[in-house]
Amino acid sequence: MFDPRDKVAVVTGGAGGIGFAIASALAHAGADIALLDLHREEVEDAARALADETGRRVFAYKADVADRARMMALAHAIADDFGPFHILVNNAGVAIGGPVWDMTGTDWDWTLGVNLGGVVNGLLAFLPAIRAHDEGGHVVNVASIAGLIATPGLSVYTASKFAVVGLSESMRADLEGSGIGVSVLCPGFVRTRIHEAGRNRPAGPGEQPRAPVADEQSQVGEIARGVLSGIEPVEIAGQVIAAIREGRFYIFTHPELAEYVAERHDAIMGAMKT
């Protein structure tokens, strides 16, 4: 069990959506917050609002989680600003959709660089200091239900989230008995701006940046509509705080999706028995 009160939490992708909701819940639980995001003005506005609302120290930092050197430098800057930090929420993520044969090298590099590389860089930058101070801590890696079940039109995203789930399961075993807990958050549809993440996708050679959502009638368009009609991020945040306090590993937001996870499990078990 780990109590966030009077601890310092680092939250990536913190200017809005799930990241801001978790940061807000942590601040209301008594934590100080280092809020990281790619968009400087948005994260500064978010930090200011959260500090005013909660009275906690909330500082904003511009960060591309795929930039390892920047993340390593931020670890030192945050330690200078706050002292020891205890909680790491690897939340920043992007999505791009379409059939696997339409995915370009840029699509793969960008999505894996943020969704998996961002988690890796967060761990490289912040976990050593959490281990070193011997005050305990907790890491939350934000994956997706797409880290457990595959969906047509989301091959790149699904690959990145399966990787985050596997990484989290392994690091939980590595950190057992260390006083540092691990949780992996696997939400279903949540009302965020992830369907607009293509605005941040770099153009590859000869390309124009493109949005992740194809025409409205496509499978990907259906997924985008699911995001827009999803649950509010604040509905997730309380579950995350409870998982940190109780030391729970898996965090699920949509129990109705259990049947699809069971289908996959049954298919695997059936194949192993033949």
- Amino acid making up residue 233: P
Q: Which two tokens stand for residue 233?
A: 């991020």
User: Residue 92 in contact with residue 19, Cβ under 8 Å?
Assistant: yes
State the catalytic residue, choosing from 7, 62, 161, 260.
161
pLDDT at position 222? 57
Q: Check residue 215 and give its pLDDT.
A: 46
DSSP code for 65: T
What type of residue sits at position 203?
A
Mention every residue, 6+ apart, whose C-beta is less than 8 A from residue 268.
none
pLDDT at 219: 53
Within 13 A of 12's CA, how many CA atoms are on the CB side?
Answer: 33
Structure tokens at 234: 């604040």
- Give Cα 119 to chain centroid, integer Å: 8
* Cα dist from 11 to 16, 126, 131, 252, 260, whole Å: 11, 11, 18, 19, 30
Torsion sign (Cα): 29, 34, 35, 41: positive
Could you confirm whether 260 is annotated as catalytic? no
Query: pTM value?
Result: 0.90
Q: Please state the separation of Cα 198 from the chain's center in Å.
A: 17
CB atoms within 10 A of CB 138: 26
Residue 273 annotated to the active site = no
What is the number of H-type helices and E-type strands within the chain? Answer: 9, 7
Q: Which of 61, 157, 260, 273 is catalytic?
A: 157
Return the pLDDT at 137. 98
Residue 217's pLDDT is what? Answer: 47
Q: Round to whole Å and give the CA distance between 46 and 59.
A: 9
- First and final CA of the chain: distance in angstroms? 42
DSSP helix/strand/coil, 112: helix
55: left (phi over 0), alpha (psi -120 to 50) or beta: left
List the domain boundaries for the chain. Answer: 8-273
What's the CA gap between 253 and 243, in Å, rounded? 12
The residue whose two tokens read 């120290």 is 57
Query: Residue 233's closest CA among 41, 7, 2, 14?
Result: 14
Phi then psi dihedrals of residue 252, to 5 deg: -115, 145
Amino acid 39: pLDDT: 94
Residue among 110, 101, 23 at smallest CA distance from 64: 110
Task: List alpha helices for 145-190, DSSP H.
Answer: 155-175
Residue 130: exposure state from Cβ atoms within 10 A (0-12, 13-18, ≥19): buried
Predicted confidence at residue 151, as pLDDT, reads 86
The per-residue pLDDT for 96 is 86
The tens-digit pLDDT sequence of the chain (274 residues) is 899 999 999 999 999 999 999 999 999 999 999 999 999 999 999 999 999 999 999 999 999 999 999 999 999 999 999 999 999 999 999 988 889 999 999 999 999 999 999 999 999 999 999 999 989 999 999 999 999 999 888 999 999 999 999 999 999 999 999 999 999 999 987 655 555 555 556 666 556 555 444 444 455 555 555 555 567 888 999 999 999 999 999 999 989 989 999 999 999 999 998 7
Fold of the 8-273 domain: Rossmann fold (3.40.50)
